[in-house]
Amino acid sequence: MKDLRDYEKAIEIIGGIIRAWDPYCLIQEGAPADEFDGEIAKITSRVPSFRNSSDAAQAISEVFLASFGQGEKFSPVDCSEPAEQIFLELGRANLLPAA
């Protein structure tokens, strides 16, 4: 990400995917749409370290474990589906670091 516009686009992409994933169905159950904004920002800050979807899954896992606790199911494997979507969409938007 080169500038604020890239960061905002990454927030938009990651936010849409995380909100659709909605691991606790919080948004589906009526929680505000900004329910995961803190987690989305933390994941977005790690985009410069993404080399593959496994890096994205690790970031999602660590962020959600920190927010929701160790007893929950947020292993990198549990986070692989949204991570693959995030990595694909960030790549399409040219927001991933150069290889």
| pLDDT per residue as tens digits for the range 4-30 | 999 999 999 999 999 999 988 999 999
pLDDT of residue 86: 98
pLDDT of residue 57: 98
**CB distance 14 to 86 below 8 Å:** yes
- Asked if residue 28 is part of any domain, the answer here is yes
| pLDDT per residue as tens digits for the range 43-95 | 999 999 999 999 999 999 999 999 988 766 899 999 999 999 999 999 999 99
- Asked if residue 97 is part of any domain, the answer here is no
- Asked if residue 46 is part of any domain, the answer here is yes
Domain total of the chain: 1
pLDDT of residue 67: 92
pLDDT of residue 83: 98
